[in-house]
Structure 1
Amino acid sequence: MRKTASLSTKLIRIGVGLLVVALASIGLTLWVTWQLEGGAAAVNEAGRMRMQTWRLSSAVQAELPAQDVAALVSEFDRGLSLLREGDATRPLFVPWDQDVRQRFTEVERLWSGQRTAWLDGHMSEGNSSQVAAEAFVNAIDRLVLAIELQLSGLTATLNLFQFVMMALAIIGAVVMLYTGYMYVIHPLDYLRQGLRRLESGDFSARVDVDTQDEFGQVAAGFNHMAQTLQSLYGGLEAKVVEKTRRIEAQRARLESLYEVSAFLAKANNIEELARGFSQRVREVMKADAVAVRWSDEANQRYLMLASDCFPSDMQDEERSLLAGACACGNLKPDARTRVIPIHAHDEAPMRHCARAGYENLVSVPVRLQQRLLGEMDLFFRSEVHLSTEETELLDALAAHLASALEGLRAAALEREAAVGEERALLARELHDSIAQSLAFLKIQVQLLRTAIDRAQPAKVQQTLDELDEGLRESISDVRELLVHFRTRTNSEHIEAALQETLQKFQHQTGIPTRLQVDGEGLPLPPDVQVQVLHVVQEALSNVRKHAQASHVSLDVTKGNGWTFVVRDNGRGFDTQVRHGETHVGTKIMRERAERIGASVVVDSHPGQGTSMTLSLPPYPVAMVNVGTVGLNLPESTALPS
């Protein structure tokens, strides 16, 4: 880049040059005009001298007084002096040159020769004044002609200056236009083109910089700006590409995690869950084989739950691994997901992996609430480097596997607990009804034997009647028990189950029933519904056995806390007096109510019927392991589990 003056310096130089030329032209023009004006005044003064010459001649010929002639001579002297010295105030001055000076000298010489004669009156003789005046006037004419010639030259010079000034104006305009184009418009056009390219997204646009003036600095700044934008755009584009790649990878990981989670939620058993999980993990991580191992309670042995693409011979050998015998199944309590190079181990099982062509093993511990449950092993036949995101994905998948397996185990335990609770309920029902009836029948049999031994026919007949009544009661209890345990609830509404219970009661007893449901409330959980139905069924059982009623109603009020009221129009009883079987039924209802945090109130008066009110808390929840609570069976009546 060549060094040049700045744009302001260039413009100042060109402006000063044009100004100097313009001032010089104006100055010369003014000087020529001044000369022309002064010469014109001199011509006028010389012409006045011709008139004064003829006046002087006329005064002499008219023989005017001497003082008048002297005044005219004196005025003539002032005119010559004015021509000789000039008058800057008028302005008046003679454009002197050699010819003008000779003519003026000739006029002065003639005047010097004639002046005395004019004053002495010698010109009055004959026509001497006429001849002298004519000679003097001719001299003045020659002076005027010389001055006019000089003025014509100045006029030509003025015209020349005017043409020169016009040419200078044209040249100045051209120079200014050229300067503006070269130093302003042309660089601006380059900058505008560069800006257009930059606006269109071409960040490689550059402007040639060949000067160091202001536009050169602007162009250099533009190039720097374009370079900065290009680097920023390139970096931003790379960041966008990298961010897009990371987002896509994250989306793929989330999709994989969602797919695996959805599969784990739908799996029905451990074998299906483990096998499907292994397949999906291998596809997600692009592994060559996957094995899922589960630890025993003591973490001494690892059992293979499932595998995918794992060699069959190695499956047989590693179906059960002792802890610490291999890199697989060698997890510490604080172990983390890690990559294990297979070729770096000399243990026999690792040599099996090496013979199978595996080069790296990824060990992922499976934990549930910081408790080590097992591990997931991924085998690769190539180099493996896990990123932080991939490690987090594997840990999340392992956590989902642990939760799913724990869910299956919890479901199995729940089913087992449900079976146990049903058995306990059956045992309680047998204990509270049939077992007591059988005990009563046993006593009646002993009384019958005694009556037969003593030959008491009346007592025998009475005992047989009581045995018959007891057997009928036992048969009814068995039927009622079967009805109880066949009852099914609806997960959303309990009204259908209550209606079905009342219909069965009416069918068995012939007693009309009515169901009334009022209010709005949240649905009851299924386990709470079961306990409510059992309480209602026990209340209906008491009505069947003791009330001698002709009508039974069930009023249900929904709300923040549900209430169930069973009313009959039977004979009633005194709640302050202990009634054997009735008291047992009330105890059973209260125990069932306590399991869901509810309360039972029995209100009855002799001859006025009975009402049983079951009041539920705002958020009833069945207690865990309630099947065996309060179950104290005697050894003689205990049932096998």
Structure 2
Amino acid sequence: MSIVIRLSLALLLLILPSVLSLLLSGWITGLSAGGGEAINMAGSLRKQSYLIAATALSPADPIPGGQPNLSEVVVEFERRLYHPSIQNALPDAAQDPIRVQFNALESRWRNEIRPSLERDDSLYASILLPSTHQYVSEIDLFVDALEKAHETRLKSLARLQWISLLIVFGVFAWTLIWVYRQVTYPLSKMAEVANQVEAGHYAARIDTQASGEIGTLKTALNRMLNELETSYSQLELRVAEKTAALEQNQTALQLRYQVKALLADNEPDQAIFDAVLKVLGESIPFRNAAICLTDINPKQQHIPVKSAFKLANNQQQGIRLGCLEQDCAACIEHTPPALDSKELVFPLLEGGITYGIMPITLQDGIKLAPWQMQVLEDVSHNLGTALAGSHRKQSLHRLALFEERSVIARELHDSLAQALSYLKIQVVRLQNQIGEQPEQAQATLQELREGLNAAYRQLRELLTTFRLQINQGGLNAALTATVKEFAERTGLEIALDNHLLGVELAAEEEIHVLQIVREALANVHHHAHARSAQIHLAWIGNEIVVQINDDGVGIGKAPERAQHYGLSIMRDRARSLGGIISIQANQPSGTQIILQFIPSTPFSNQESAQRAK
């Protein structure tokens, strides 16, 4: 039921008793309005009765008009007896005491007292006064009855007013209680909940009982609070997601910046790559990680790379990956990175060329988030860019060195080579002119001719050295071309076993290694009389080891004869590399040449290199 209807009913209940009380009070007051006059008029009948008795018993007045006439007194008595106030006070019920008393008074007056007054009866005159006393007693009873009836009406009026007052107070108290329970208390709870919501407690609800408009308002407010809490929860969730995304972006940007700073400010070497892995390990939960370099073959990218060597890792005592034990060879054919994979391998690419790989083993139960995968892919790309930049620098340095050597080769060819050629011609002419001279002169000329031939051959080798170029294929391609050249020119069976794939050497180091190999193969061809030779290159510890074996006659006790400079040139080149070269007999036959040096490129261990020097 509506609150307005209930309040209207409450007000009606408050007003209705008052109206009824007023109506009843008016009615009772109307009934009691002539009661006092009737009582007074009835009381005056006693005086009139005594006045009639006194008038009847008194002697005649000698003075006319000096005392009232008996007839006048009787008329006055009857006027008062039948006065309207008394008649109105008489109830309609015949058995009512007032009606009974009045009928008795009126009957005695009409049938006894008045007839006796009209006749002159001395006997009656003697009993008139006692009869009057008795009649007055009856009048007293009638007056008492009127007074009691009047008092009863007044008491009823008072009782009715008290009842009306109690009803009004009861309805008022019930209304107050109902208003408090149904209006005031629910509104106070709503205000309390509103304060809680204002303070940020969106889970607050209005749990008090309510009906009508207040109940509707309560339901609407609770529904609104539910929607507000849901909206706020969704907003908090979105804020948390955005905050987490911003934190992830900040972490990712910080990682990218730190890696960029490391690679931009320094040449990429083992220490820099170790620092990169350390930076990644602070934000990405991997257990093991490494950076491995692979061989570069830009002309044959479709051919899979078969070898790599480990440059950096994130552990002091070596690294253990699922695809990586002592080197990186097992990681080359690893599957592409996946979010649910424990072992990941990221290629170090730049311009479609693979410069290395970055294998990673995650901790148990850890899966990388997409942003972490993106960071690792970006870092691997940055590493590939850094390696590509280092290769380009080496290529530029190599080109500058080759240009310088080409200039020297042209100058040697234009000057010393032509002079030696002229001397050879003159020696031949001289030998023809003194063909009949003694054998000693012929021996001297022969020795001079051999010296010139040796000098000319060394010059040609030197020109070849200066003109020799190493293309983008690097040292491995140059060695392969050299092996093919000597095999075709000399008929030797030459095997190349290169384990330096992915190792970046300086341009001077590549030239020295290549020339030592070429010089060794030239010695095998000219002096060893061998059928085959083996070339082996490897990275052992911190050193590059180059080994050339043949199955020839072996090296003599005095290998460095006059006018034979090949071995001394190889030793000079080894000293230029900061390493050593050993030449010894090979068992059961042949010669073994071993070159050992620590590379000076950024990919070497600089501290170890300094200790070795």
The bucket for the TM-score relative to the shorter chain is: 0.3 to 0.5
Bigger RCO of structures 1 and 2 (CA < 8 A, at least 6 apart): 2
